A = this chain, B = another copy of it.
Amino acid sequence: MEQVHQYRKLYEVLRKHITTGVYKEGSLLPSENELCATYSMTRPTVRHALDSLVKEGMILKQQGKGSIVRKAPQNIGILSFSGTASAIGVRYLQTDILQKPEIRTWPEVFPFELSKLERESGCIYMERLRFVDEIPVFYDVNHLPNIYLTRITSRSFENKSLFEILRKHYQIEILGGEQKLKAIKPDEKIRQMLWLQPDLPVLHIERKLTTNKAGFNIYSTIYFNSEKHAIFGSF
Write the residues of chain A forming the contact surface with B, with a CB cutoff of 8 angstroms.
44, 55, 57, 73, 75, 77-82, 176-185, 199-204, 206, 224, 226, 230-235
**A182 in complex: contacting residue of B73, B78, B230, B234, CB < 8 Å:** B230
Q: Is the interface of A mostly helix, strand, loop or mixed?
A: strand
The answer on a CB contact under 8 Å between B182 and A203 is yes
CB closest residue in chain B, given A202: B183
The answer on a CB contact under 8 Å between B178 and A181 is no
The answer on a CB contact under 8 Å between A181 and B235 is no
The answer on a CB contact under 8 Å between A235 and B183 is no
The answer on a CB contact under 8 Å between A231 and B181 is yes
CB closest residue in chain B, given A74: B180
List B contacts of A80 (CB < 8 A). Answer: 235
Bound: A183/B177 CA distance, A: 22
The answer on a CB contact under 8 Å between A180 and B82 is yes
CB closest residue in chain B, given A111: B84
CB closest residue in chain B, given A177: B235
**A226 in complex: contacting residue of B77, B82, B182, CB < 8 Å:** B182
Bound: A81/B198 CA distance, A: 30
The answer on a CB contact under 8 Å between B232 and A180 is yes
List B contacts of A234 (CB < 8 A). Answer: 176-179
**A235 in complex: contacting residue of B79, B184, B201, B231, CB < 8 Å:** B79
The answer on a CB contact under 8 Å between B226 and A179 is no
The answer on a CB contact under 8 Å between B57 and A181 is no
CB closest residue in chain B, given A200: B185
Min Cβ gap A223→B in Å is: 10
18 other contacts beyond A180-B230, A181-B226, A183-B204, with CB at 8 A cut-off? A55-B55, A73-B178, A75-B180, A79-B233, A80-B235, A82-B180, A178-B234, A181-B203, A182-B203, A182-B226, A182-B230, A183-B183, A183-B202, A183-B203, A184-B201, A185-B199, A201-B201, A233-B233
* A-B pairs with beta carbons under 8 Å apart, 17 shown: A75-B180, A79-B181, A79-B233, A80-B235, A176-B234, A178-B233, A178-B234, A179-B233, A180-B232, A181-B232, A182-B203, A182-B231, A183-B184, A183-B204, A201-B201, A233-B233, A235-B235
